[in-house]
Amino acid sequence: MSRILRIPAAALAACLLILSCASGSREARTMLTAADSLMGTDPQAALYSIMSIDSSAVLSMNNKDRALYILLRTQARYKCYLPVSGDTAISTAVEYYSRRGPASRHAVALSMRGAVNFERGDFVSALEDYKDAEKIVDEKDGGPVAAGLLHTRIAELYQLTFVNDSLTVERYRKALECFQRSDRDDLIMQARLSLARALLAVSPEESLSNTLAGAALAMTLSDSSMILVARELETAYYLITGQYSEAVRTASDALSEAYYSEARFGKSVANILLAMSTAYARTGHPDSARATASRIPREALDEATWNFLYYDISLSEDDSESALGYLATGHRIGDSTLAAGYGLHLRGVEKRYENSRISERYASMQNRYFSTYIILLGTLCIIIIICSLIYVRNIRLKREVEKCTDIIRSLNEEKDAAGRITSTVHGKESTLISEEMLKVTDELMEAFYKYGRTKAIAEQVKAILQCHFPEEGTMAKVRRIVDATYPGFLSGLETAYPALKEKDIYIIALTACGFSTGTICALRRITESSLYVEKTRIARKIGETGSLSDFVQKALQNYNAS
């Protein structure tokens, strides 16, 4: 009795489990939809929605929902300025969207994988991912925002390696053009400030104009972080152009406004303090320079920058020995950094990628032209065949006999030529086989000559085939043909695949001879469906996932190559 009661209880528990899983899946899908809609306007809320999904619901997701979950999680973390170097699962989303689409998701997934590789220090892989995403955006017209973001990320790659300044500027200019078409003031502001930073060492005046334009947008948008970045770039401009008093004044103003948020904008504040300390040193105030430098966290600047700063301070203190030591160390570190940047060959990677895209387009164009040519040629052949059939049906018997006589004469000439070639290339065995095949041809032509316009032609052809290709002896004859043409080919297959039987080798030999499906069926006295079953069985025996014809063709190619 207790066992009987356990059965409905177990069934009820299973039903409740299924319903709870279905309910959890629906809730997770709702959260993903909400996060997707919030990603462009409020990535923090999108991240909260994604992180609210229960881990058990994630495990029960199908491939589509799981790919979207991974993509949105990485995208939200990236937009919230959280580290994404550990989000290697983004490759799963890339693979899914490359197979299933849509292309827009695939492009975003590639961009996010590029960001992950960027943070992991794999700049070459990051550039390759960005270029793949750029290709999709260009082909599918993903919009100016997507194109601008990709230009920005590629520019950041070049800028981080301290080489290819012109390429960095070019990419930032393209990004600015894309964002200006989108009317996104926040993106235009960021693009102008990024371009200004890249132009500092190339064109300081143009850098200042972009800095001021970006600062105006930052004031309009009340973006305090970008206001501080603009002040940082303005201070750097005055330092580069030798206006040290203006650099100190601008830095002091910026720090007085940002003293309450130095922890939040640490990098910008560190750069402002660096410019201020350098300006103090170059105007003969080493004490102020050292005091300002002491406010900079050690980890905020790289070692080369620290050495160049202390070089300026030591010069201001007339300590030439220490200054030369700092200068030498700074140059050594800077040279190694540049060498590492050049060693990445990012421009070479981009050039190779662009060349491969050009090659793909050229190959695609050639394929289209070739397809058009084949279609036209096929149409022309069909027209010629139809005209020939009409002509053959309406000519007189005498003309037909004359034509058949010409055909027989030409076949005799081909017979003699084939006999000579066969005796030279294949030897005595091939000659005998060729003569036998030509004999079949002669008999077929003679039958056509005598019975071509009568119903008896079918019986005559059947009798000829039965005479020369009997069901019992044809296998050995075909084996001799293949062995004469490709010596050792069939025996090699028998050695490599001992599971193959004699009739399996027969099918492979017929395929190697190039016989059509209909011819093979006639020689085997089987239907096409039975032949297909046998071919499938043989392919399974040799472990081939494709068709048997493809396997035989590849095997012959390998045989000829060896």
Which pLDDT score is estimated for 216? 92
Q: Half-sphere exposure of residue 447, counting CA atoms within 13 Å on the CB side?
A: 17
472: tokens are 């019992």
Tokens of 253: 């103003």
CA–CA dist 168, 205 (Å, integer) = 17
Domain ranges of the chain: 349-394, 397-466, 469-562
* Nearest residue to 172 (alpha-carbon basis) of 141, 137, 135, 200: 200
What per-residue confidence (pLDDT) applies to 22? 46
Contact status, residue 107 vs residue 123, Cβ threshold 8 Å: no
Instruction: Report the distance separating Cα 127 and Cα 79, nearest Å.
Output: 19
Total residues belonging to the chain: 562
What does the pLDDT read at residue 454?
73
Q: Scanning the structure block, which residue is given the tokens 């297959």?
A: 493
DSSP state of 545: S
Residue 221 is classified by DSSP as: H
- pTM, whole model, 2 decimals? 0.50
CA angle 213, 214, 215 (to 5 degrees): 90
| Under 8 Å between Cβ of 524 and 531 | yes
- Of the candidates 157, 95, 97, the one whose C-alpha atom is nearest the C-alpha of residue 126 is 157
CB 191 within 8 A of CB 175: yes
Q: Is 519 helix (H, G, I), strand (E, B) or coil?
A: helix
Phi-psi region of 134 (alpha: psi -120 to 50; beta: other; left: phi over 0): alpha
Q: State which residues of the chain have pLDDT below 50.
A: 1-22, 259-260, 262-263, 341-343, 423
Q: Is the peptide bond before 102 cis (omega within 30 degrees of 0)?
A: yes
What's the pLDDT score for residue 355?
55
Per the listing, tokens 């079949």 go with 440
CA atoms of 275 and 234, how far apart (whole Å): 10
Residue 469: both structure tokens together: 């290709």
